């Protein structure tokens, strides 16, 4: 009896072994647990006043990687290493050094801030690594000397400022302008871009140009001077926190009827929260790309983002980070997890993605340039075309 039981156990174990081997071989896919892990890095502001921009983009980047892993199509498992640059060039440089020292990281996507990108580009170039920019918009980043190491899915400052200037000057008839920008490379470039664009229209003038420091909190002296000369609008060439405080203080000084405009650097829910819902009402900004609802695959992206359980909104640059991740994934399929090979592979990758068709030009800048005008309405950024301002139900600050 004992011998019979032993034979039965042996038969059962043999059958189980054969079934396990058969199931493991079905479909020709390697079990996920046995796959090699390949790391790609995401860098952005995950703390500080601009954290919502970075966190939303980080989440969208992770979503793309999660979806790629779920298909089982890659011969390895992708892992995102997300790192905080805190919107600070020195912090960004330190993070970049950590990345290049970690040989398991094969590709990189960052940043939101142009000064931070300027600090990290030499580090990645020296190490022979790519940097696919998802948010920083200084025109100086995608240039001949940085190609093919640096590519970018977002438009440049000039490409953002041009449609905004056309809208407020040609469509709204606002011709007398004041400029407030921060002293960073981003701010200075915005001042130059806005000046160049506004001057294209006859009869326009810039009567006041002022610089502020990042982190500055009192703008009353500057705003009082602007109030005294009288303008049709204030262009703010900085980012969320300073822009929101400037708007709030302008309202306190009796300038609520002065239009304030800016590009995507101010376009965040945090801007409205900081300025206050009523104070932010009627602020105009432009954002790269179409509204997500109008993007190819936009509905699927929004649904997938919600199902993934992220607590934070994907923000203005979430779709850009999502496509950046998918470009890296597509390059990995062609070149494999090799830093050197991925530099050229990323630069030559064409993607029919969430933003539409992304193709990089001879300096690594995307050719896919679309911009949308938004306005703050009832505490939210609303597409101008769908707003009460467009329909005439409401009037912008300073409208006759």
Mean pLDDT of the chain: 90
Tell me whether residue 15 is in a domain: no
Q: How confident is the model at residue 33 (pLDDT cuts 50, 70, 90)?
A: low
For residue 291, pLDDT beyond 90: no
Mean pLDDT throughout 111-134?
Answer: 96
Q: Which has the minimum average pLDDT: 208-212, 251-255, 289-293?
A: 289-293
Tell me whether residue 94 is in a domain: yes
Domain of 202, in residue numbers: 158-288+372-391
pLDDT of residue 321: 98
For residue 303, pLDDT beyond 50: yes
pLDDT of residue 295: 85
- 365 and 376 fall within a common domain: no
Tell me whether residue 399 is in a domain: no
Q: How confident is the model at residue 27 (pLDDT cuts 50, 70, 90)?
A: very low
Contact 232, 204 (CB under 8 A): no
User: How many structural domains is the chain composed of?
Assistant: 2
Mean pLDDT throughout 28-35?
Answer: 51
Mean pLDDT throughout 235-261?
Answer: 96
Among 112, 43, 81, 68, residue whose Cα is nearest residue 304: 68
Q: What percent of the chain has pLDDT over 90?
A: 80
Which residue spans within the chain are E strands per DSSP?
36-44, 76-84, 105-109, 131-133, 150-152, 176-182, 205-212, 233-237, 259-262, 284-288, 351-353, 356-358, 371-377, 380-383
Measured in residues, the chain has a length of: 400
Residues 6 or more apart whose CB falls under 8 angstroms from that of 153 comprise 132, 133, 134, 320, 323, 324, 327, 355, 358, 366, 368
Mean pLDDT throughout 376-389?
Answer: 96
Q: How confident is the model at residue 236 (pLDDT cuts 50, 70, 90)?
A: very high
pLDDT of residue 340: 97
Tell me whether residue 18 is in a domain: no
Residues 6 or more apart whose CB falls under 8 angstroms from that of 66 comprise 308
Tell me whether residue 6 is in a domain: no
CATH number, domain of 270, equals 3.40.50.2300
pLDDT of residue 353: 93
- 304 and 356 fall within a common domain: yes
pLDDT of residue 50: 87
pLDDT of residue 34: 66
Task: List the end-to-end C-alpha distance of the chain, in Å, as a whole number.
Answer: 102
Digit-coded pLDDT (tens) for 61-110: 999 999 999 999 889 999 999 999 999 999 999 999 999 999 999 999 99
pLDDT of residue 26: 40
- 315 and 219 fall within a common domain: no
pLDDT of residue 28: 39
CB atoms within 10 A of CB 126: 11
- 88 and 68 fall within a common domain: yes
pLDDT of residue 240: 93
- 95 and 240 fall within a common domain: no
- 111 and 212 fall within a common domain: no
- 382 and 361 fall within a common domain: no
Cα separation, 232 vs 224, in Å, equals: 15
- 237 and 379 fall within a common domain: yes
Contact 312, 52 (CB under 8 A): yes
- 376 and 238 fall within a common domain: yes
Tell me whether residue 54 is in a domain: yes
Tell me whether residue 7 is in a domain: no
Tell me whether residue 242 is in a domain: yes
- 364 and 376 fall within a common domain: no
Mean pLDDT throughout 248-255?
Answer: 98
Q: Indicate the pTM of the whole model.
A: 0.75
Digit-coded pLDDT (tens) for 200-228: 999 999 999 999 998 999 999 999 999 99
Q: How confident is the model at residue 159 (pLDDT cuts 50, 70, 90)?
A: confident
Among 212, 137, 217, residue whose Cα is nearest residue 182: 212
- 206 and 269 fall within a common domain: yes
- 163 and 259 fall within a common domain: yes
pLDDT of residue 126: 97
Residue 145 or 30, more confident: 145
Q: How confident is the model at residue 230 (pLDDT cuts 50, 70, 90)?
A: very high
Mean pLDDT throughout 245-251?
Answer: 98
pLDDT of residue 23: 37
């Amino acid at each position: 009896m004992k011998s019979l039981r032993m034979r039965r156990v042996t038969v059962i174990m043999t059958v189980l072994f054969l079934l396990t081997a058969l199931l493991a071989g079905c479909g020709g896919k390697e079990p996920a647990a046995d796959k090699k892990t390949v790391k790609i890095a995401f860098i952005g502001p995950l703390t500080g006043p601009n954290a919502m921009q970075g966190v939303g983009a980080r989440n969208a980047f992770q979503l793309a990687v999660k979806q790629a892993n779920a298909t089982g199509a890659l011969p390895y498992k992708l892992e995102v290493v997300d790192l905080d640059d805190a919107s600070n060039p020195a912090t960004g440089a330190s993070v970049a050094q950590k990345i290049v020292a970690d040989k398991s990281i094969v590709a990189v996507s960052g940043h939101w801030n142009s000064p931070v990108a300027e600090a990290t580009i030499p580090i990645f170039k020296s190490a022979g690594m790519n940097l696919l920019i998802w948010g920083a918009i200084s025109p100086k980043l995608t240039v001949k000397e940085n190609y093919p190491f640096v590519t970018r899915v977002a438009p440049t400052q000039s490409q953002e400022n041009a449609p905004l200037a056309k809208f407020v000057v040609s469509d709204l008839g606002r011709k007398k302008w004041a400029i407030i920008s921060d002293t960073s490379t981003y701010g200075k470039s915005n001042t130059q871009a806005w000046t160049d664009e506004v001057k294209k229209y006859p009869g326009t003038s810039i009567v006041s140009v002022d610089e502020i420091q990042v982190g500055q909190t009192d703008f009353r002296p500057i705003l009082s001077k602007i109030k005294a000369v009288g303008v049709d609008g204030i262009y703010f060439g900085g980012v969320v926190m300073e822009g929101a405080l400037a708007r709030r203080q302008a309202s306190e000084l009796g300038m609520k009827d002065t239009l304030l405009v800016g590009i995507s650097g101010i376009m965040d829910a945090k801007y409205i929260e900081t300025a206050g819902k009523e104070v932010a009402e009627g602020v105009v900004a432009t954002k790269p790309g179409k509204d997500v609802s109008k993007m190819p695959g936009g509905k699927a992206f929004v649904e997938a983002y919600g199902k993934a359980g992220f607590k934070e909104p994907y923000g203005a640059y979430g779709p850009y980070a999502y496509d950046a991740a998918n470009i890296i994934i597509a390059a990995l399929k062609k070149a494999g997890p090799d830093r050197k090979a991925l530099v050229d592979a990323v630069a030559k990758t064409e993607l029919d993605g969430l933003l539409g068709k992304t193709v990089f030009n001879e300096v690594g800048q995307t050719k896919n340039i679309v911009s949308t005008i938004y306005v703050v309405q009832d505490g939210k950024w609303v597409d101008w075309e769908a707003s009460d301002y467009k329909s005439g139900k409401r009037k912008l600050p300073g409208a006759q």
